[in-house]
A and B are shown apart, each in its own frame.
Chain A
Amino acid sequence: MTVALSEFAPLLPEIFILTMACAVLIIDLYLTDKNRHISYLLALATMAGAGIVTYIVMPTTPEIVLAGTFISDQMSAVLKMFVYLITAGVLVYSRQYLVERDLFKGEFYVLVLFAVLGMMVMISGHNMLSIYLGLELLSLCLYALVALQRDSSTAVEAAMKYFVLGALASGMLLYGMSMIYGASGSLDLMEIAEHIKGVQEKDLVLLLGVVFIIVGLAFKLGAVPFHMWVPDVYHGAPTAITLFISTAPKIAGFAIIIRLMADGMGDLQHYWQDFLIVIAVLSLIIGNIIAIAQTNLKRMLAYSTIAHMGFLLLGIIAGTAEGYSAAMFYTIAYAIMGLGAFGMIILLSRAGFEADRLEDFKGLNDRSPWYAFIMLIIMFSMAGVPPALGFWAKLAVLESVVNVGLTWLAIIAVVMSIVGAFYYIRLIKLMYFDKAEDTALIEGTLDLKAILSANGIAILALGIFPGALLAICTNVML
């Protein structure tokens, strides 16, 4: 197989990240703890640089290169941009937190960069093998990140659970892919789609393959009943890592669902639609209801993530361009909101103290009206109260579901959102109407405060002016 050099042009962002990740790995060896921040700055610069490179190579029409294993289109460019943005946010949020817990190490940055690379390969994968490769690269980095705090028993336990269950899910995904390969004779998504078009009657092997793939994907997203790892991992991992796990990978997860389900197996929609409906409804119900019983904010947000993933799946279930773009909007909105919510925990935490219990938010308004207000925006947005961003995300998804005649699904989603509103608003009540137990001053470095404020205002601003982001999500799905 010969490959022309020009075929590598669309891969420039990936090559850039890979180079930078290796560079950080080597440079970090020569750094002392005193000037460790060079790794941090390099990682941030990598995100900015990747953004520029991605923008430069962004194609107007989809380009498929390297024997069909890699696709570069507008959707991949936009999703990658948001991955960089969210990851850069994670880096800024986590700096002080890592320093205080003696985790401010080069490994963190190298692992994050490789995870980003994995996400990019997932986003641009156009072959089952490349998609799987990207997914595994991401997963391995995440397992290691969760275990970064080696002396914490909860973190190690979480990493262990994550790893074992993740391996199980990967096995299922791979098994499903092999069945698809067996039925269609190809790993290329386009060829698979061609084959499926020709199949007339119910092909059991194909369907079994679909089921196994869905199980694998549902695990990665954290949808019910493959969600059990989510609360334990979110809770056990250091908050900075939780921040990362709960945001950027969801964007990549959305991308592979679109690639596999819509592009590859779009003609099997009436089969996978049913499976996804079951998973989405279970996620909405279980996620929202169990969240109510949580006293730990990180666990509560974990369950809320499960519920959000149910919402995201609704857009996919609709199976129309409108639904996919709504799901994309939802994913991006969720990533921005999740970033702010976990970021707030980081702000309130100090060396030796994790502000992850609900009680820690009591009376926040007395301690700092501004950050209480930011948290108020984030919670309202997650609950879907206008004019915050989350409202439009929910509206778009619900609209797409109603438009394909699945009104009952929308009703369940709305009812469950109301249940969900309870625990979001409970937090607001704690912040505004209860007396503070912890009256320590909110320390937080300037960069942390600035990004948190910007994050909160962005949620509000995007909620008041949702037009631009909606237009982007609509255009890339055309």
Chain B
Amino acid sequence: MENIYLAIVLAPLIGSIVAGLWGKKIGTAGAHTVTIIGVAISCGLSFYVFKHHVFDGGAVFNGAVYTWAVSDGFTFDIGFLVDQLTAMMMVVVTFVSLMVHIYTIGYMKGDPGYQRFFCYISLFTFSMLMLVMANNFMQLFFGWEAVGLVSYLLIGFWYKRETAIYANLKAFLVNRVGDFGFILGIAVVLMYFNSLDYEDVFSNAGNLSNITIQVIPGWDWNVITLICMLLFIGAMGKSAQVPLHVWLPDSMEGPTPISALIHAATMVTAGVFMVARMSPLYEWSETALSFVLIIGAITALFMGFLGLVQNDIKRVVAYSTLSQLGYMVVALGVSAYAAGLFHLMTHAFFKALLFLAAGSVIIAMHHQQDIRKMGGLRKYLPITYATSLIGSLALIGFPGFSGFFSKDAIIEAVGHSELFGSGFAYTAVLLGVFVTALYTFRMFFLVFHGKERMDEDTRSHLKESPLVVTVPLILLAIPSVFIGGLTIGPMLFGDYFGSSLVVFKEHDVLAQMGEYFTGALGFVLHGLVTPAFYLSMAGLATAWYIYMKKPSIATHFKEKYKSIYNVLDNAYGCDDFNDKWFAGGARRIGNVLFKVGDAKVIDGVMVNGTAQTVGWWAGVARYMQTGYLYHYAFAMILGLVGLVSWIFIV
């Protein structure tokens, strides 16, 4: 199996290297062929690994493949931990990545950076696989940073656009904040566990559950809580949780395929995956779990509100991603890790679908992204319309669609929890359902129904996208409908995850729900009588009424409650605050340091001063190299005399 794991990781890397270094030689067709073959191999083998671990009951693999370095007694291994959790992530990552690769052929056609793009997304697949398959914190950190790097490169893919450069810099800086916490967390792990290996750390977590540390003098912190909080700060950056969410909406400056792959389906869920993987640590700290829960709940609700006022089709989907990530994090907070991962999986499919469908609309509209200038696209883009409808229904949790199972499970789980903050979280996720349905169908109606508001020139060119675009849509639509119902039993209430997740008995809300779980159909029937269902239907109906029946309501609301609208339109002022205080403050401090510290002290005195001194000495010493043989011999004799006299002196 070890060779198969290696092949899964290396195939996309090889594809990426070939497309990146020899892109010009192999041409556009060569670039997409080689990368798609790489990812297809990876995807096929991932399915095989999935079968091996899930259906054939293969043993968990945990071992080092290569010793990268040994330093001061610590061995840094490159190793894999493959169990059911990893297998699921591998299948999701490689499958969505494969779909996106194919879709890109159509979306990026004629772009001058075609080969570069394929190089990046294959590199991303490699990095993401390294992240999910890691068996130690070092490799996790490598994957974590590598996906961040590729994300940075891809957001700024159209590097001549000023907005794209702004967005990728922002993503980079915000992630720095998260990663700083993350690496501190890893440092604490190393300090207290003396190992970076998952297995060592997890098995010793219980021994450390009572040890405290004083980060700030006089204030005791439980070590496990500290580790979990710090690691979660990393997750907040990567999975865009409040207040480190600000980079994700801007990241939509990147090409749509990567919005689907990186900023919806895979990379942003890395934080969720990481917390689930660390469940043996998180279980020991209720404080950290509460923290996770509250952050997730805030994100789930308040980011949803923002989706209501966006007019850019991709930004609406982006805010919905933020909100859905909040749902996943909430699930983690109440120890329903399985439910969080379950939502991660269904979300990966239907959100990738929605993004790609949005991309298809954007292609048809000649890169017009404003939904106010669309409308009535249903008859021009039938396949995109049908798949979008499926994606939207899945997103709002319409009974029977995959999103329904995962979202309802999370809401129920929160309802069962007794953790601090669960009451607030329950209200937030319930209200969130209404908001989700409202903004989703607002977008859906404005794009596909109603009056055709585009200009004549655009309308005359409207046509359905090519096969390379629609086939991935259809292939993603299938799991968006069915995967939830098919897998809810084993994943949430069965023993699918086996030993990969650890949940203490007193936290185990899923076990409580499992007592009356009677199968997917029963879950659907039960769902019809929950408040969540009525709230989502209400949201749908409201959207229909406001945007189809009486558009005047929307305008009226906007004028009457201008202050609320402005707050939402400014995204609660987070960006302004960051710009003014963090970015502006950093610039002001930097300016002072530059003028005084850098230019005067370092450049003037230290650098130029040292360089002059060293240069002077070099000139003098060079003078001693006269070229005369007897000078050289004399120097040797002097050296000898010096050493001999040393013996007599010492």
Contact = CB atoms under 8 A, between A and B. Distances in A.
A and B pair up: yes
Interface of A: 160-161, 164-165, 168-169, 172, 204, 207-208, 211-212, 214-215, 218-219, 224-226, 228-229, 231-232, 271, 274-275, 278, 286, 289-294, 392, 395, 399, 419, 422, 465-467, 470
A165 B68 contact: no
B615 A165 contact: no
B622 to A, nearest CB: 5
Contact of B617 (A212, A226, A289): A289
Contact of A293 (B622, B642, B647): B622
Given A165-B632, A215-B636, A290 B647 contact: no
22 contacts: A160-B629, A164-B629, A165-B629, A165-B633, A165-B636, A168-B633, A207-B647, A211-B644, A215-B636, A219-B636, A228-B636, A232-B625, A278-B643, A278-B646, A289-B617, A289-B618, A291-B618, A292-B615, A293-B619, A293-B621, A419-B614, A467-B69
B639 A229 contact: no
Contacts of B635: 225-226, 228
Contacts of A226: 635-636, 639
- The interface residues of chain B, by DSSP majority, are classed as helix
B215 interface: no
A290 B639 contact: no
Contact of B629 (A161, A274, A290): A161
| Residue among A208, A228, A275 with max Cβ neighbours from chain B (10 Å) | A228
| Residue among B67, B622, B643 with max Cβ neighbours from chain A (10 Å) | B643
A467 B69 CA distance: 6
Given A165-B636, A228-B631, A228-B632, A290 B643 contact: no
Contacts of A211: 640, 643-644, 646-647
A275 B369 CA distance: 75
B623 to A, nearest CB: 10
Contacts of B644: 208, 211
A422 B607 CA distance: 12
Contact of B625 (A164, A231, A289): A231
B627 interface: yes
Nearest to B625: A231
B638 interface: yes
A212 B637 CA distance: 11
Given A172-B640, A211-B647, A290 B633 contact: no
Interface in B53-68: 66-68
Contacts of B619: 293
Given A161-B632, A229-B632, A466 B640 contact: no
A274 B647 CA distance: 10
Interface residues of B, number: 32
Contacts of B68: 465, 467
B70 interface: yes
| Residue among B70, B618, B619 with max Cβ neighbours from chain A (10 Å) | B618
A208 B640 CA distance: 10
A465 B636 contact: no
B191 interface: no
A290 B636 contact: no
A219 B611 CA distance: 30
Contacts of B629: 160-161, 164-165
B1 interface: no
Interface string B597-635: 000000000000001001101110110010101011101
Contacts, number: 90
Interface of B: 66-72, 611, 614-615, 617-619, 621-622, 625, 627, 629, 631-633, 635-636, 638-640, 642-644, 646-647, 650
Contacts of A228: 625, 631-632, 635-636
Given A161-B629, A290-B625, A467-B69, A169 B647 contact: no
B525 to A, nearest CB: 57
A147 to B, nearest CB: 15
Contact of B633 (A164, A208, A278, A294): A164
A219 B646 CA distance: 19
| Residue among B66, B67, B617, B640 with max Cβ neighbours from chain A (10 Å) | B640
Contacts of A467: 66-70
Nearest to A226: B636
Given A274-B646, A278-B642, A289-B621, 17 more contacts: A165-B632, A168-B633, A204-B647, A218-B639, A219-B636, A225-B636, A225-B638, A228-B632, A271-B647, A275-B646, A278-B643, A292-B614, A292-B615, A293-B618, A293-B622, A419-B614, A422-B611
Nearest to A228: B632
Contacts of B618: 289-293
A179 B629 CA distance: 28
A3 B314 CA distance: 87
Nearest to A418: B610
Contacts of A164: 629, 633
B615 A293 contact: yes
A466 B72 CA distance: 15
A92 B435 CA distance: 72
Contacts of B66: 465, 467
Contacts of B646: 211, 274-275, 278
Contacts of A294: 622
A232 to B, nearest CB: 7
Contacts of A392: 69
Contacts of A212: 640
Contacts of A271: 647
Q: Which 3 pairs of residues, A with B, have the shortest CB-CB distance?
A: A293-B618, A228-B632, A225-B639
A215 B619 CA distance: 27
Contacts of A219: 636
A207 B643 CA distance: 10
A165 B627 CA distance: 13
A341 B635 CA distance: 29
